[in-house]
Structure 1
Amino acid sequence: MTDRLQPGDTAPDFSLPDADGKQVSLAGHLAGQGRKVIVYFYPAALTPGCTKQACDFTDNLDLLADAGYDVIGVSPDKPEKLARFRDKESLKVTLVGDPSKETLEAYGAFGEKKLYGKTVTGVIRSTVVVGADGTVEHAFYNVKATGHVAKLIKDLAI
């Protein structure tokens, strides 16, 4: 089981393809921009819960951006599926794919979880807020797809 990140930890850097196949890195978002990054991990594009969560982030993107946050969604999906997801749901958040699951594991967002009462191995719906200095400010694990963005905005006092 992968260790979960804690506030104060250095956030693992990553470089992953977005829905258009372009590389997106955490360092690229942090470098000299003084912005914070909300990295959220979800199981699969084009599924009901993940769609709700991605739409909630899209609906609140301007509010988050005005408060100094970029948002990156990470799933094990390939860029082609992310592009279909983005286009079908008119998503504005940056979506990146991690088919190898290395980034998911580095963030503690892949491992054993309960699904309908059974223990399975998969993506643990999680959100990590990375400060402009590259350290973890908040790490939320086993979050709910519905209502999570509103709770996050409240927790960040935005």
Structure 2
Amino acid sequence: MAKNSLLRMDNMGIVVESLDDAISFFSEIGLKLEGRAMIEGEWAGQVTGLGNQRVEIAMMVTPDGHSRLELSKFLDPPTVSDHRNAPVNALGYLRVMFTVEDIDELVSRLIKRGAQLVGEVVQYQDSYKLCYIRGTEGLLVGLAEQLKKN
């Protein structure tokens, strides 16, 4: 009997109200827009369990090309709940984390664009500086700057 082997994680999906705002926010962090498309029809609903649906998506990719965020704006059916303001100890998916070069500079830029620091930028030993921010639409994002290079 063959054993299934994980090959890679393709992407993480985030549902948003404004694709343009989300694209702008994640572009500021350093992701690039890879493509934008309309996903619709019964075939898509067979995957999601939502039936006939219309969803506009934008695929954002990290500079190394290995990680992607799929941003989705549901046109039909409409969104039914909102988890964006849940505290960091709520059940379910928490946040997406990015490793960045200069956390202080990036946090400063993001705050100028309306993001809010959740706690503080903290240093973990001599390894990392870390923080959580709430970006566009209250999305929770983690940032980490590696201090010691291996």
Q: Which of 1 and 2 has greater Rg?
A: 2
Structure 1 and Structure 2 fold alike (TM over 0.5) = no
* Greater share of residues in helix: 1
* Greater share of residues in strand: 2
TM-score relative to the length of structure 2: 0.28
TM-score relative to the length of structure 1: 0.27
